[in-house]
Structure 1
């Protein structure tokens, strides 16, 4: 699943995490200001960034682009020397490009969040003082539209690239499995595992990986903002005053939802795996029946289909209470963001613009902590696919 596409996966992913941590430590321990040695103006790293599209060609952003490229090139050259995997151009450089696009999308969200406060404060000021210059509203909306256009364009291009990335991964697995077809063809559902499961696995892993990295990058970008905004929100409903109230509110709510969903959904991966097995057995008998008259008789098909029905009914039952809990949680989550601000709103401690900004930042951080909640159905599907392919590969391991 992995070694066909990535060079020596065990060491590759370990070195990737290590290299990421090293770069993160260097960047936040002073590296973000090292661009001054290359001619960038002194103090560029601490300068206030503009709220708009011009932010992305300021000195601090240009220095990050250069840093990211050099860091990726060093990592790619190391693995080019260490391994000769034919898919390294896609698995190393392609993964880096996807990571960069995720970071860029998060930075777009940061700009939009910064836009909320002055724009909605402007609206509040006009409403409370009898009006104002309408051109200021047009200018504020245009700022948002410029950012949104760039964000949508890059997001669509990234989706196009990811589609090719996933298909290359599927091709690598396909080539690996078909090269060992003689050992694998006797395994139940071998054709389906190669033809269907490889694509589903690559697509699902990529989707979950992107979501995880996006959640981590969102936390890195928005958690410091939430910490600073916590100075405006001193108290929470029921709890009362607490330091860093918004941060604790986001973490506790996300952890509560994650634990509950893990408890109510722990049976689903095994049931999904069994579902794939009984479906494959039923499909295989039907295929044999197309070529041989003595196969796929009504009694055999009835027995096989009864197993399919039994497993589906169990899935329906377990998914019923799982979805009930998950959807109720997500509905309550829609109200939670404004609920935690009730004491501050009642005390008149925040403005409309600040409320919108806090709600947006709080939502971003909360969603990042809720990665497992939003991804749990996909994780269940991935676990069932992984079990099938792992059982498939065990023949080659032997």
Structure 2
């Protein structure tokens, strides 16, 4: 096969990688996008609640409440479970996560990510318009429900805290919840409505639409394995089914698989995964859900996807490729049926995915410290769908010598030594 060439190779065609490819392409780079699947958006980007969380300015940090931690340790909560066999592997990472979740460090992470969160929906709106898929972005916001007065009080505190950052989230009583989502049933202490986030009723489809835009603009898509990446003089080379590609620069955007490239190159960046599951269920009796709904105390989320009502779980700590567990969905689906009229399960089997996380809940974006031409764009934790386009812009500005619109220091790989 002939040797292929590009200015830049992007490894990974999830929301993060496709967005980086588009922003580099806009700036005149000849970009080759490579994924192990023959289409974009088949892994982590496929399975989530579809929320562009431009109002979620505080990262998902490790809890500091002793009682809550004890419940997690006993594996009793639907919000978080862990695979006991994998405990030795991820326990050291959990300790780093706990340390990074101190009030001061958590606030520092929130402030670092705030410019990205604020810009996230704007960047999606631009790409949705360019891709010509307005039906894949809805301005619905989303709703969080609280069953106990204690959990509602914590949520109200967060609403007050968020007002300092210009967010006007709304506290709802039971009557207001019923007015917004009339087909919900149950007793609630109250809820919080976040009006500004966007909703994507087909996250995997949106990644594919962005990839199609990349292709229409001359971008090339290849099927290949990121583990074949190697330095070749001043360039980089990677094998694909269509032949080897040589490029001056490579962007590592392989999400939870980024360690497969990092480790052979000698980088000890503490990447871990939080796994999650979803299944689609048909609504009954012509019931309609207007926006995603989080049943906060019971640890699951419902999202009105094009395919059906998506029931998504909380976090599972386990090895990325460990066998799937039905435990969280076994709890979530019966509870969801009591909240909203649900019929038959649509999917032949549940979907399992992995969120790539660093202890400080910030992605790694920027230049690889010891390898010229290698750039990082991974570790977006729960916000891969939200942040993909905005971090793609930030990275492209860094790579092309523009002045970045946000401070890049907090996202540098060097923060881990």
TM-score range, shorter chain: under 0.3
Higher helix fraction (1 or 2): 1
Greater RCO, 1 or 2 (C-alpha within 8 Å, sep 6+): 2
Higher strand fraction (1 or 2): 2
Q: Which has the larger radius of gyration?
A: 1
TM-score by length of 1: 0.21
